[in-house]
């Protein structure tokens, strides 16, 4: 009985000492762009982005039924509108039969 309890205590102490060695590294925070989202959704996205990429991906997957957000929707900035300087000089014809 004594030998068995000593073995259990030895195994527990070895596990306690070695557990931090196998712990995963913390992930880096993800930069997100949430200007186009409602305030409550933006706060949740920011919170999960601060925890790392895995947490943000899990949040987006878990809320896909109610908030159809994709990874690209929150991690890439919105494209800037094109200026009117490079616009067409004349309006194109409206119907295909007018192209002769």
pLDDT single digits (tens) 80-89: 665 555 555 5
- Cβ neighbourhood burial of 29 (10 Å; 0-12, 13-18, 19+): middle
With residues binned 3-state (H G I as helix, E B as strand, rest as coil), the percentages for the chain, rounded to 5, are 55, 0, 45
Task: Please tell me the predicted confidence (pLDDT) of residue 83.
Answer: 57
Distance of CA 57 to the CA centre of its chain: 4
Q: Is the dihedral of CA 44, 50, 51, 52 positive or negative?
A: positive
Task: Please tell me the predicted confidence (pLDDT) of residue 50.
Answer: 94
């Amino acid at each position: 009985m004594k030998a068995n309890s000593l073995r259990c205590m030895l195994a527990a102490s070895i596990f306690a000492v070695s557990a931090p060695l196998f712990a995963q590294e913390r992930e880096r925070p993800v930069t997100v762009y949430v200007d186009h989202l409602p305030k409550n959704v933006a706060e949740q996205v920011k919170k999960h982005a601060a925890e790392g990429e895995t947490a943000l991906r899990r949040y987006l997957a878990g809320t896909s039924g109610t908030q159809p957000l994709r990874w690209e929707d929150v991690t890439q900035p919105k494209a800037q509108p094109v200026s009117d300087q490079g616009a067409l000089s004349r309006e194109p014809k409206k119907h295909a039969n007018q192209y002769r």
